[in-house]
A and B are shown apart, each in its own frame.
Chain A
Amino acid sequence: MVTRGFVGRRPKADDARRLPPGQSLTTDFPVLSLGPTPAVRLERWKLAITHDRKVLASWSWEEFQALPHTPITADIHCVTKWSRFDTQWEGVTIDALLLAGGVTPPTQFVLAKCYDGYTTNIPLADQRGAQAMIATRYAGEPLAAEHGGPARLLVPHLYLWKSAKWIAEFRFVEWNAPGFWEERGYHIRGDPWQEQRYTNDP
């Protein structure tokens, strides 16, 4: 349906090709979180890989720093309609993390659990061999708290609510059980190129 009188402010053709449907390009870094920004102290920070109440591997902040870090550049897309190109992150890829922890994935589904109580589900297939990582640096600086610091999950090919901020636990679960937003009207997978914003989107 054409909207009478709407012309719009078009992105350049090159940018338009990189923008998923319904997204617009921003140069800011907006924030989407469900409550206040938690202050997670590095001395008490811990990341655990778990399954069925057992800890399969875990790292303190110092131990995590010693893992092999990888830089990536990715376009990111938030369900609130903004996208940002060429964001630069550094962290430990999920492949490297599983390898370092000596973890053979016990299931194919993961629920990320966070210091603020947030959860989100991401099948392992969306995290392996891809750019998915536990990111601790953004644009060459330690990741700011409001953007998920000290460490967040980053799964750049899905809407950013999947990239859980303030991650604490990487929990293997038996099925693709919905997380926080997925239980509150948002799509179970969240692929921006298919515009999977809300529960019943195709």
Chain B
Amino acid sequence: MTLDLETILNLICLTLASVSLVGSSTDNRDDDEELVKRCAGGDREAFNDLVVKYQKKVFSVAYRFVGDPEEANDLAQEIFTAAYQNLKSFRGDSKFSTWLFQIATNRGKNRFKYLKRRGFFTNKGSSETDDEGDQSHRALPDQTANPEELLSGNQIRKAVIEAINELEPDHREIVILRDIEGLSYDEIARILDLPEGTTKSRLHRARMVVKEKLKKVLS
């Protein structure tokens, strides 16, 4: 399998474009302030508006932590319920979305640990891979010159899911927030209450772990 440096640098440009898009939306004003105020005053409609606004993102984060639609639905509901219960204690020190994602990552991580202890992911991952059988070795022909083709492959998707299922919770969380959900470093640092430098180095280490697993499965 060969990808030349040029292709890689093209990929870099793509990524940079998406990074700057995410980055540009970061400012200090909280768009949700009004809704949050009404919601804290007991306005259920305002809460519903917040749910509608964030349900897709929260569900997606939940799904990445547990890897199962039913579990994800339960977890996402737990996250919003916790937000509803605690909204009165939300003092607006951070954006509402940051606070909501703090709850989401906390709960997500807890649920992930719980499920992992019970072998939820081991059973899942291996059975999915077994279904593929021999295909796993043929999925990436050596001549693949087109990264899009490579990246859209079903096998690589499965390999990625298995790889993140094996990550330790702190690594999984940061990979979810940055590489899957595309949040900015600034936002992630706030959510995880980490210095931005730590956020970046932790993400790097997590990616290196995933990379090694992908290499092992796909080369």
Bound pair: A and B?
A: no
